[in-house]
Chain A
Amino acid sequence: MKLIFERSIPGHGQTLLPHCDVPEITLDAPGRETPLHLAELSENDLSRHFTELSKQVHGVNCGFYPLGSCTMKYSPKLDEDMAALPGFTDIHPLQPAHTAQGCLHVLHEAAQQLCVITGMDEMTMQPAAGAHGEFTGLLLIKSYHRSRGDDKRTKIIVPDSAHGTNPASASMAGFTIVNVPSRADGCVDLEKLKAAVGDDTAGLMLTNPNTVGLFDKNILEITKIIHDAGGLNYYDGANLNAVMGIVRPGDMGFDVVHVNLHKTFATPHGGGGPGSGPVGCKAFLADFLPGQVVRCADGVYTLSTPEKSIGCVRGFHGNFLVAVKALTYLMMLGREGVPEAARNAVLNANYLMHRIKGSYPPAVDGICMHEFVASMDKAKHEFGVSATDVAKAMLDYGIHPPTMYFPLIVHEALMFEPTETESKATLDETADILLEIMERAKSDPDSLHAAPLTAPIGRPDEVTAARQPVTRYVFEQ
């Protein structure tokens, strides 16, 4: 389809302004020498452009979206209504705190509820997304060791089944990464962990449930090994949806966590979200938190900067309206609804896994948590049909593919996360489609190699797109 600049027709515009009834003057000041490149379209053409764009993508509003580890749950429309209230939108972050008590109340309440869910004592709402939260949390860990004069703790331990952002964030924060091999079920190998820790261990980053979709039952022992070595434990909240309201990272021995409001707490995800990755910590780390923290005394909300703050990781209070949406979601679910959502997420994943496991063998036997990983290794060897082929074929049925080729420890991985907001009917329909795709893999593998046939584009050149991205439009001179 055409880009907005290619649709532009000089002279076309959206609003007819009345004639200027005051004399025009030219300012005697340096100005632009070339005109701005602005697309000129009528409102009708502009509306069609964006509607056309929306047809090129697949979102949760279009159909099922079981993208593993991303928790693509439905975002309730009430969240949007709340975030659009003028009291939340017509404010300025620099206006005096006593004139923005409602907004501070929301930030305070959201932080409190997230602390209750994660078992933390304090929370910053500044980080803009998950990896940003990881970076922030690691800076807290770094500042903690430094404040004790313990400068030799330079290593962060990351299991090889971890999300790629974990080692990337640790590297960004100036740590050296120690990779610990996982067992086949993605769980931490205790002996290898014991061998990896020492007086240079700054901390451990872990997702639990892990990336294979299993709850690591040794978690208390794992976090103890790190604590005994003098390190701290960081909880990556990517998979919190499986356990929210049921078990708390703080009780598992974690000292710092990040949560993804755009995953677990149902705020919009993808396409720029925007996301939000609040970071919570135990009380002994609270003095290092970034930005300003909202405090409440006698019903009055105030802002204060923590004593040894690492500084700001983002402007003001992060993506404030996302916090409004997440709090709305939490208040809708309530104390009973939060764990019920987690239980349904686990139930849905197990139901889908059970329906398709004959054709899509799970990487690990047994009951999974909120997601499961199937391996297409057998299909690849027997029918020449890869995880990519199955994923591309799903597009022709109007389903977004699951996460592919992750975690790295599973060959030809397809990682399904249905979330709790899908009905049994949707799961059944998906299971039938997946079983049909595997029948086609046996009888007509070439038809899968050719998929997708109905999507706006077929198989894009992902390598060139990643290595030579074209990210800006070049105007004709």
Chain B
Amino acid sequence: MKILSNLKYTKTHEWAKFENDGTVLAGLTDFAQEHLGDLVFVNLPEVGDSVTAGEPFCDVESVKAVSDVYAPVSGEIIEVNEALADNPALINEDPYDAWLVKIGSVEDNGELLDAAAYDTFAKEEAED
């Protein structure tokens, strides 16, 4: 399981990358893509939608099931990764490169874990 040290994580297996301009990129972790299996569809939100930390903002469909994706922070969607609409498998190939959305006007950071805490959390969950 790959975890990048420069990212923050949620307990629902999303990552958040805080950019220098104050925006946040959000995506699914390696743990998430591994457990979801091959992704076949990403139902992206619209630019301008507001999102709330801990609330679902998009859903992904894998060969197994449709699952909600939860926002790591509160704010407004300022960009979506259109490349995923044509090729959802990009998330399986490199989950940390295949960002889902860029969030601006970030208000609330929710309860985010650093890489070490997420590593421990994900390992516990895998054993559970």
Contact = CB atoms under 8 A, between A and B. Distances in A.
A405 interface: yes
Nearest to A405: B64
Contacts of B35: 411
B61 A463 contact: yes
A412 B41 contact: no
B61 A405 contact: no
B1 interface: no
Contacts of B37: 405, 411-412
A411 B63 CA distance: 11
Interface in A410-465: 411-412, 462-463
A32 interface: no
A462 B38 CA distance: 13
Contacts of B34: 411
Contacts of A408: 64-65
Contacts of A467: 41
13 contacts: A386-B38, A387-B63, A388-B38, A404-B63, A405-B37, A405-B62, A405-B64, A405-B65, A408-B64, A408-B65, A411-B34, A463-B40, A467-B41
Contacts of B38: 386, 388
Contacts, number: 25
A274 interface: no
B97 interface: no
A164 B63 CA distance: 14
Interface of A: 164, 181, 386-388, 404-406, 408, 411-412, 462-463, 467
B128 interface: yes
B63 A388 contact: yes
A411 B65 CA distance: 12
A405 B63 contact: yes
B41 A463 contact: yes
Contact of B40 (A181, A406, A411, A462): A462
Contacts of B128: 181
Given A386-B63, A387-B63, 7 more contacts: A181-B128, A386-B38, A405-B37, A405-B64, A408-B64, A411-B35, A463-B40
Interface residues of B, number: 12
Interface centre among B37, B38, B62 (most CB of A within 10 A): B37
A172 to B, nearest CB: 18
Contacts of B41: 463, 467
A408 B37 CA distance: 10
A103 B92 CA distance: 57
A200 B64 CA distance: 31
A408 B62 CA distance: 11
A391 B92 CA distance: 21
Contacts of A411: 34-35, 37
A374 to B, nearest CB: 15
A404 B37 CA distance: 12
B128 to A, nearest CB: 7
A462 B40 CA distance: 9
Nearest to A464: B41
A404 B40 CA distance: 15
Contacts of A462: 40
Nearest to A407: B64
A426 to B, nearest CB: 28
A342 B61 CA distance: 36
B88 to A, nearest CB: 9
A438 to B, nearest CB: 19
A406 B37 CA distance: 12
Nearest to B88: A463
Nearest to B42: A463
B87 to A, nearest CB: 12
Interface string B97-128: 00000000000000000000000000000001
Contacts of A388: 38, 63
Interface in B23-45: 34-35, 37-38, 40-41
A388 B39 CA distance: 12
Nearest to B127: A184
